[in-house]
Structure 1
């Protein structure tokens, strides 16, 4: 029978998200491809240091056993194939079992998410993330200046999610942005029994939930998930009702009512946090590994504002 990844949780990740290639990337940005390639050739046998998403990948792969491969991690990178040799060497040195990789030498790689059937795409390239989300894949722009994950929970994979525009659609967020907090609270209270439409990261949460159900088969490894949202009572009801309608539970839920998320995430100590608003991601990145989900109304507003400012500066 042909080999398939259909029965696995599939994570596609760029080389800069998994390993620290920031020095090499700075050289690439200020010089040319030939100079960058020469440096990578010189460092082929030098393992790269851990990147921001390393802990997430390491713990996901820990759910694999010789009897059952439950998770597949695939490098999906704009790097050239020669640089790909260093990526695989770095993974081997770090004890990360990578078997597959796609290296496109500058060409956008997100199209390969479809044949991979990816449940998650992590990249340090913001444009690739936007394109992947547009194709319907959970994706996040990894903030490479985030702090590294805590080492306090070696046998527990911890992942935290924002709600609106991440796990759920941005339906409610649009009401808040257009009409204010009072209208948002009224809208959510009136619809507390009506599940929110799916957001881009529902498929990942569902895949993690399935993995969580069989975690007992992997001695010593557990999954802990958290919903970390700016919602507060009474708008919390609709979020919980939505999760119940999906038959998916999270281990912790934080309804912060506008409080800064960073200190709460610092206490939870996730291996990764996903949020659609850059302000929350920047704040979180000071405490935990974080990524920007470039979807929804709030992200579109930020990108539009940035584009206007860019054109004004150029004018």
Structure 2
């Protein structure tokens, strides 16, 4: 029998609050009563937690697994204590989420364990952990726990939407926009239309999703969307960059600065990733959303 391995798997590392709705319990913890939080979680051990913001994404990704081929692994990576971790596992079992692995650090930052987990994605409600993960080179996003839950309209599709600059792509062009304005940005991108953008923090995730799609599964498919504030003529460099990477997206929305929320509501993603706090806060009113604290827009 082969030794257990996470090689060649899409590994999602996720915090307890991103997977389940622990907001009521978290208020006890944030109030400074760590022992009270642990007692509350233990008292509710047999009370399954409600789905959290990233629950739909996780459940659908795990549906790519088949008896003879396990392509996706979900690992809970949490600042919770091990006692509270028991409720996470029980809630997952009740919800039909096959969790085998979890790391619970009782208040200490857990992001260092992303490397031995070979994580493809890290989702957490803790902004500091997400920032540290991004700095270490992992695709990571802070889950906005105030987001609306995902739609149930596409049970056999994993739907994921990405912003472009500072998420899929580097923030090279965004730096021009921030320093010199829209006209300079458009001219910069037009002059470099044939020159692919460097990859951003979420390029590896998009590539992994494409590999998962190509691996094949009769029950499930992945649908991706690029949702960006870019407009013509700056659209061309984004499209050519994806072509150069040999990565396809199913839909592309070049919105020229229009609010993204209503467009995302029509796409109905299981999750949306954006680097700009105002964009992601607006999107969270319509779809499950996460903040990617990368690039010039997040420099204090």
More helix, by proportion? 1
Provide the C-alpha distance between the structure 1 equivalents of 2:16 and 2:77, rounded to a whole number of angstroms. 7
Residue-by-residue CA offset, 1:199-240 (whole Å, 9 max, x unaligned): 00000000000011123xx22211100000000000000000
SS in 2 for 1:175: helix
Q: Aligned-pair RMSD on alpha carbons?
A: 0.7
Displacement of 1:3 in angstroms is 2.0
Displacement of 1:6 in angstroms is 1.0
Provide the C-alpha distance between the structure 1 equivalents of 2:50 and 2:192, rounded to a whole number of angstroms. 48
Q: TM-score, normalising length from structure 2?
A: 0.99
Matched, 1:52 2:53: yes
SS in 1 for 2:29: helix
Match of 2:149 in 1: 148
Provide the C-alpha distance between the structure 1 equivalents of 2:290 and 2:272, rounded to a whole number of angstroms. 6
Match of 1:208 in 2: 209
Provide the C-alpha distance between the structure 1 equivalents of 2:32 and 2:128, rounded to a whole number of angstroms. 21
Displacement of 1:44 in angstroms is 1.0
Residue-by-residue CA offset, 1:20-65 (whole Å, 9 max, x unaligned): 0000000111141111111111111111000000000000000001
SS in 2 for 1:176: helix
Q: TM-score, normalising length from structure 1?
A: 0.94
Displacement of 1:7 in angstroms is 1.1
Paired residues in the alignment total 299
Displacement of 1:4 in angstroms is 1.3
Match of 1:252 in 2: 251
Provide the C-alpha distance between the structure 2 equivalents of 1:31 and 1:76, rounded to a whole number of angstroms. 21
Match of 2:232 in 1: 233
Provide the C-alpha distance between the structure 2 equivalents of 1:2 and 1:14, rounded to a whole number of angstroms. 26
SS in 1 for 2:13: strand
Match of 2:126 in 1: 125
Displacement of 1:2 in angstroms is 3.1
Provide the C-alpha distance between the structure 2 equivalents of 1:176 and 1:3, rounded to a whole number of angstroms. 47
Provide the C-alpha distance between the structure 2 equivalents of 1:211 and 1:2, rounded to a whole number of angstroms. 22
Any unmatched runs of 5+ in structure 1? Answer: 305-315
Match of 1:175 in 2: 176
Displacement of 1:173 in angstroms is 0.2
Provide the C-alpha distance between the structure 2 equivalents of 1:134 and 1:2, rounded to a whole number of angstroms. 31
